[in-house]
């Protein structure tokens, strides 16, 4: 039995208590169509076991979901024939997470689709970048 959280919509999909358009399943993961697609084919890969986000998911489930995402990307490549792909994960509200069961968005991209890069590339002083890198490395 997968580890489920009461009231979680994605756990309800895993258990079959809520409907979803399933694309792919294995022992550890389920991949479904997103109900509010950003582009044609937008899908979500989730672990069967409930984890809130990237910080709390196990390394094993993170690997399983990444491998499942690549499997779906390869299938979309043969079927939808998009021009590219984005994988996206939102961790916490500040990063746009709205469903608190870990998921990887698989977003097929098309040259004429409306999506835009969500940040403006800005230059920065190399000293500043090096200082932040040092802080992250120190842990
Ligand atoms: P987030 O905003 O957390 O990165 O992504 C959550 C995604 O889940 C959204 O793209 C949203 O459209 C999708 N979503 C929310 N509720 C449901 C649902 O009940 N079923 C499916 N298939 N997708 C959902
Ligand atoms: Zn859940």
The per-residue pLDDT for range 5-41, each reduced to its tens digit, is 999 999 999 999 999 999 999 999 999 999 999 999 9
Catalytic residues: 103
CB 109 within 8 A of CB 82: yes
Taking alpha carbons only, the member of 82, 78, 98 closest to residue 90 is 98
Our answer on whether the CB atom of 53 is closer than 6 Å to any ligand 1 atom is no
Our answer on whether the CB atom of 24 is closer than 6 Å to any ligand 1 atom is no
Closest ligand to the CA of 48: 2
**For atom 20 of ligand 1, which residue has the closest CA?**
35
Q: How many CA atoms lie within 13 A of 5 on its CB side?
A: 13
CA of 119 relative to ligand 1 center, distance in Å:
22
Confidence at residue 19, expressed as pLDDT on a 0 to 100 scale: 98
Residue 129, classified by CB atoms within 10 Å of its CB into exposed (0-12), middle (13-18) or buried (19+), is exposed
What integer is the mean pLDDT of 92-113? 98
Confidence at residue 66, expressed as pLDDT on a 0 to 100 scale: 98
Closest ligand to the CA of 5: 2
CA of 95 relative to ligand 2 center, distance in Å:
19
Confidence at residue 139, expressed as pLDDT on a 0 to 100 scale: 81
């Amino acid at each position: 039995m997968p580890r489920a959280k009461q009231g979680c919509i994605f756990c309800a999909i895993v258990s079959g208590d809520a409907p979803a358009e399933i694309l792919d399943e294995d022992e550890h993961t389920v991949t479904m169509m997103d109900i509010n697609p950003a582009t044609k084919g937008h899908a979500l890969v989730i672990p069967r076991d409930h984890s809130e986000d990237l910080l709390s998911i196990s390394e094993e489930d993170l690997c399983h979901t990444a491998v499942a995402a690549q499997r779906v990307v390869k299938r979309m490549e043969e079927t939808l024939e998009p021009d590219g792909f984005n994988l996206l994960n939102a961790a916490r509200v500040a990063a746009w997470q709205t469903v608190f069961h870990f998921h990887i968005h698989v977003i097929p991209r098309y040259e004429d689709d409306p999506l835009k890069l969500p940040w403006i590339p800005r230059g920065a002083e190399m000293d500043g970048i090096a200082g932040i890198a040092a802080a992250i490395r120190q842990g």
